[in-house]
Amino acid sequence: MAEITYRDAVIRGIAQEMKRDNDVVFLGEDVAKAGGVFKATVGLYEQFGPLRVRDTPISEQAILGAAMGAAMTGLKPIAEIMFSDFFAVCFDYIANEFPKSRYMSNGQTKCPLVVRTGNGAGSRFGAQHSQSVENWCMMIPGLKVVAPSSPVDVIGLLAAAVRDPDPVIFLEHKSLYPTKGEVPDGEIVDKLGTAKVVRPGRDATILALALMVPRAVEAADRLKAEHGIDCEVIDVRSLVPLDTQTILGSVARTHRLFTVEENPRLCGWGAEIVSIVADEAFYDLDGPPVRITTPHIPLPAADVLEDMMLPTVERIVDTVRRSLQG
Amino acid sequence: MATAQVRAEAPGSGLNDDIGEAKRLAMYRSQLRIREAEQRAYDLFLQNLVKGTSHLSLGQEAVASGFAEAMQKGDLSFCTYRGHAHTLARGVSVEKVLGELMQRDNGLMRGKGGSMHLTSEEHGVMGSYAIIGAHLPIACGAAWRAQYKGDKDVSVCFFGDGTTNIGAFHEALNFAAIWKLPVVFVCENNLYMEYTPIGDVTAVPHPAADRAASYGLERIIIDGNDADAVYRAAQKAFAKARAGEGPSLIEALTYRHSGHSRADPAKYRPEGELEKWKERDPIKIYRERLQQFGISDKVIAEIDASVRKEVDDATETCKAAPMPPADILTTDVYADGGWAWRN
């Protein structure tokens, strides 16, 4: 057991899979010799060499297209798109190519690849380098989408993503890179499509993803200490496949549902989950499901404004308390 | 326009030259097969039996056949939505192609892909891509796999002149050049970007070849209506790729006898242009070459008859084939064969 950062967990996760399988190759901008702009790939070039860890030009279409061609023909590429906002310049691969080739070819074409990307706000980078784009990906049939919140989940879910035969979008939260967590020694392999109850509770279910998970946990601790409200916090982790059973099971026990989302409000992942719960667990609910989200606006750069925009511990505490206690 | 310039690429001197009789007969058959199948696709469209859209390669057969005959097993083709020709040229049956165009259960992808996405991995046809430029980077990735594994396979990526003005073209060319990938980019310059003359929307006269220097590549322009010229250019580029010397960009001058897609009567073409190009019809050119090299009319007639029979038989089989069944609607979204996005 060791305490490591989320950033170092990315390095360890990639290294674990590259050591295991020579067909795992890695490409992206500044990822090799420079070790990544977030320093989340430091040492991989030295460890695995220039044939397996490759710097690319600033050509996001070439990066994702090349990853797909390599995946179709037998390699297991990990491609890095530096900021998830840049998905917009290579969205053809994410929306049209990776997820549809198997279906269109009637099962002939495979696409086992992972796209890692820096997602989310908190770095004061403004509207084009801070977005949470998980809902851009979640809406596309044929993709899998995961977003870990802790170092141990980074390693385990990255391993699961690399070993998965389908294209997986792996969203690393930029503001979590310096955060630390306990990680067991040895190989770690998790399972896609599994949510995790990170804090059990009886009175309400709070669903969160990535950076919103530690905030939801802190809010739950305060709700218990200050208001006697015992919340269950679930880290959704995997948007596709979605672990609805864990969510529905929790709602059946707590009878209340809150989502804490960083993605834009319209068509956010919480909206889909709320609709599933409304469909399938309506009579388990003692009150309306509540989505705690950003306002539906572009992200501002200034720290005071960005902080106002994201769901905070205070907002989560206030929203849950008012909903449950009036 | 540019035909005079490319005629310098002299045809071979006879049946014992570098191409030889067997290859030439194969290229003749291949071109004719494409011509007859494409013409049949058009006829079936008029009968409302080919559904959706279709983009024919009538007039452009020599590019597909010349390259396919130069390719080896293991070499991979990446095609555009105008991909019937390249799919047929790699040996996929007319029945599978027409079946897909007619959206029947016997189609190449059982109706799940359609005319624009013909794929037959067992024949090395790694997909037909309907988003302009998308497959150039993908071909780079397949070439990267070959390079990484030390295989000698070449990825061949076919596209039209219009593709040279999209970003993915330039990203892929640069990427292939810096990584020295074994990929051959083949621009079929048929003079029209969909409905607009390519010259009206491109800064240079030769949309592909005039960009080659930007990526440190040789400027290569060939007569795309002469299968021998295509075959020789392909051999040269493949040898370079297999030797680890990197990519090539070839601009093949050709002409589309039909409109862009089934909806296009191609009325934007100047009077007489089509007729002029029909004088240089690749099949006419090649039939004459076979005759010039002493292949008997009887041998040619036998090929003609057997190709027509394949197309006729395929047509009847497809007409009788059932529509795709409901149970394939949700298969093969994910690798487990299904479509489940939740538990």
The mean per-residue pLDDT over the stretch A296-322 comes to 97
Checking if the pLDDT of B193 tops 70, the result is yes
**Counts for chain A of helices (H) and strands (E), in that order:** 12, 14
**Continuous segment of H or E residues that includes residue B160:** strand B155-160
Where does B18-319 sit in CATH, by number? Answer: 3.40.50.970
- The neighbouring-strand residues paired with A5 are A180
- pLDDT, tens digit, for every residue of A4-35? 999 999 999 999 999 999 999 999 999 999 99
Q: Min CA distance, B300 vs chain A (Å)? A: 35
Query: Which chain B residues are closer than 8 Å to A74 by Cβ?
Result: 145, 149
Cβ atoms < 10 Å from Cβ of B2? 15
Tallying the residues shown for chain A, one arrives at 326
Report the chain B residue with the minimal C-alpha distance to residue A242: B342
Give the rounded distance of the alpha carbon of B190 from its chain centre.
Answer: 12
The mean per-residue pLDDT over the stretch A129-158 comes to 98
- Band (pLDDT 50/70/90 cuts) for residue B1 is very low
Q: What is the pLDDT of residue A85?
A: 98
The mean per-residue pLDDT over the stretch A218-245 comes to 98
Catalytic residue IDs of A: 60, 129
Q: Give the CA count within 13 Å in the CB-facing half-sphere of B200.
A: 8
Query: Which chain B residues are closer than 8 Å to A52 by Cβ?
Result: 148
- Band (pLDDT 50/70/90 cuts) for residue B136 is very high
Checking if the pLDDT of B53 tops 90, the result is no
The phi, psi pair for B242, rounded to 5°, reads -70, -25
Query: Which chain A residues are closer than 8 Å to B140 by Cβ?
Result: 62, 65-66, 69
Q: What is the pLDDT of residue B263?
A: 81
The mean per-residue pLDDT over the stretch A273-294 comes to 98
Report the chain B residue with the minimal C-alpha distance to residue A139: B341
Q: What percent of chain B has pLDDT over 70?
A: 96
A196-325 adopts what CATH topology?
Rossmann fold (3.40.50)
A-to-B residue pairs, Cβ atoms closer than 8 angstroms: 164
- pLDDT, tens digit, for every residue of B301-332? 999 999 999 999 999 999 999 999 999 999 99
Report the chain B residue with the minimal C-alpha distance to residue A246: B343
Architecture of domain A2-183: 3-Layer(aba) Sandwich (3.40)
Q: Do B146 and A57 touch (CB under 8 A)?
A: no
Cβ atoms < 10 Å from Cβ of B20? 13
Interface test with chain A among B126, B171, B173, B215, by most A beta carbons within 10 Å: B171
Q: Min CA distance, A122 vs chain B (Å)? A: 30
Nearest to A101 by CA among A46, A159, A138, A141: A141
Q: Do B131 and A97 touch (CB under 8 A)?
A: yes
- Band (pLDDT 50/70/90 cuts) for residue B2 is very low
Q: Min CA distance, A307 vs chain B (Å)? A: 33
Q: What percent of chain A has pLDDT over 90?
A: 99
- Band (pLDDT 50/70/90 cuts) for residue B13 is low
Query: Which chain B residues are closer than 8 Å to A166 by Cβ?
Result: 334-335
Q: What distance, in Å, lies between the first and last C-alpha atoms of chain B?
A: 61
Report the chain A residue with the minimal C-alpha distance to residue B173: A62
Checking if the pLDDT of A266 tops 80, the result is yes
Q: What is the pLDDT of residue B12?
A: 53
For A214-250, b/e burial (b = at least 16 CB within 10 A) is bbbbbbbebbeeeeebebbbbbbbbbbbbbbebbbbb
Q: What is the pLDDT of residue B10?
A: 47
Nearest to B72 by CA among B54, B90, B55: B90
- Band (pLDDT 50/70/90 cuts) for residue B265 is confident
Query: What stretches of chain A show up as alpha helix (H) in DSSP?
Result: 6-20, 44-48, 60-72, 91, 98-104, 134-138, 151-163, 212-227, 244-254, 269-280, 303-309, 313-325
CA distance A14 to A5: 14
- pLDDT, tens digit, for every residue of B224-253? 999 999 999 999 999 999 999 999 999 999
One-letter-per-residue 3-state SS of B76-96: EEEEECCCHHHHHHCCCCHHH
Does the CB of B341 have a partner CB in chain A at under 8 Å?
yes
Nearest to A26 by CA among A67, A69, A57, A61: A67
* Facing A62 at nearest CB: one of B137, B155, B333: B137
Checking if the pLDDT of B11 tops 80, the result is no
Report the chain A residue with the minimal C-alpha distance to residue B115: A104
As a whole number, the mean pLDDT across chain B is 95
- pLDDT, tens digit, for every residue of A142-151? 999 999 999 9
- Band (pLDDT 50/70/90 cuts) for residue B264 is confident
- pLDDT, tens digit, for every residue of A79-96? 999 999 999 999 999 999
> Which residues belong to CATH 3.40.50.920 in chain A?
196-325
- Dihedral-angle region of residue A237 (phi above 0 means left; psi in -120 to 50 means alpha; beta otherwise): left
The mean per-residue pLDDT over the stretch A249-254 comes to 98
Torsion of CA B7, B12, B18, B23, to 10 degrees: 90
Checking if the pLDDT of B114 tops 50, the result is yes
Checking if the pLDDT of B8 tops 60, the result is no
Name the residue ranges covered by the structural domains of chain B: 18-319
Query: Which chain B residues are closer than 8 Å to A25 by Cβ?
Result: 144, 148
- Is the previous residue joined to A241 through a cis bond, with omega within 30 degrees of 0? yes
Q: Give the CA count within 13 Å in the CB-facing half-sphere of A94.
A: 31
Checking if the pLDDT of A326 tops 80, the result is no
Q: Do A106 and B110 touch (CB under 8 A)?
A: yes
Angle CA A105–A111–A113, to nearest 5: 165
Q: Do A70 and B144 touch (CB under 8 A)?
A: yes
DSSP code, position B243? T
- The neighbouring-strand residues paired with B253 are B189, B223
Q: What is the pLDDT of residue A234?
A: 99
Checking if the pLDDT of B102 tops 70, the result is yes
> Which residues belong to CATH 3.40.50.970 in chain A?
2-183
- pLDDT, tens digit, for every residue of A59-70? 999 999 999 999
The mean per-residue pLDDT over the stretch B128-145 comes to 98
Q: What is the pLDDT of residue B159?
A: 98
What's chain B's Rg over C-alpha atoms? 20
Instruction: Say whether the ipTM exceeds 0.85.
Output: yes
